[in-house]
Amino acid sequence: MSQSVESLLYQFRLIKYSMKPDGYRLPGHISPKEYRIEFEPDLAKSTFSGRETISIVLEKADDRIVLNSLDLKIGKCVIRQSGIDSKPKIDEERENQTVTLSLGSRLEAGEAEIEIEFSGELNDNLCGFYRSKYTVKGKSKCMAVTQFEAPYARMAFPCFDEPDKKAAFEVSLVVGEGLQGISNMPVRNELEREGKKVLEFMKTPVMPTYLLFMAVGEFESVETEQDGKIIRVITVPGKREEGRLALDLTAKFLKYFEDYTGISYPLPKLDMIAIPDFAAGAMENWGAITFRELLLLSDENTSVSRKRRLAEVIAHELWHQWSGDLVTMKWWNDLWLNESFADYMA
């Protein structure tokens, strides 16, 4: 069995689990408000580490917090409320893809914070936080990239990985020399730490976990500016010129959908990213849409029929920036409606 088939079957099992009407759901009285997350992928070792602070709101008192988590190693964990730190007991349950943080005393209704350190592997299953491999001038390369729909964000960080559990995200990426980082928002600040760059990105709008995106690797791009917003088509080295048609189509479709809806695209930038190893055709991560290279890049030898298909996929994903991203289904069993709207508009 090929690696690609194994990857698709692995993803299907996770999706089938999430679609079950009687499948496990997180407690409804605890919701996230904001995530502040730092990731440090190691491409050479195919691993990543991270730490996060999740601001949460409890509608009623409780002595435990349940998060989604799958194939992660949980390290230090602290829960803070009213200036008091508590170290919870940590219980992982793989069947439900959760981690339960249990306290000896109850958290009161109101706001609290969870601080967690975690680590994991950059997998080869094309979901979660994974490795995408490619070749440049005969040399093998790889990037770290995310695919979180659905439900794969839990494979990258402990979180409330359900579509109606929306929150804002402040992401930081620690990247090695010669590497770049991409996320949903533009870089707000760049620091140096022990010979590496720390890229701090602007805070996202409130959104579900499955729309969060990160990538670390070697990239190049073509770009334009439209109404004060930066639009880029991002590729692996050597393929930037193949993004010219996609860049032109993206700018035109974006303007059309803004006029059609009467709602301006709300983010300051839009990246269209060609991924060498990518299971889905494309994915509507807010502000950082990912595509199979075949469905984004073209050259003078590209057929008219393939260019038409490329235009359809770009239009489909751009419409999701409104229907799907700005407005999101409550549960995965309404994903068909989300996709139907995008098919109709494309």
Catalytic residues: 317
> How far, in Å, CA of 145 to CA of 132, rounded?
7
| Residue pointed to by tokens 């502040």 | 36
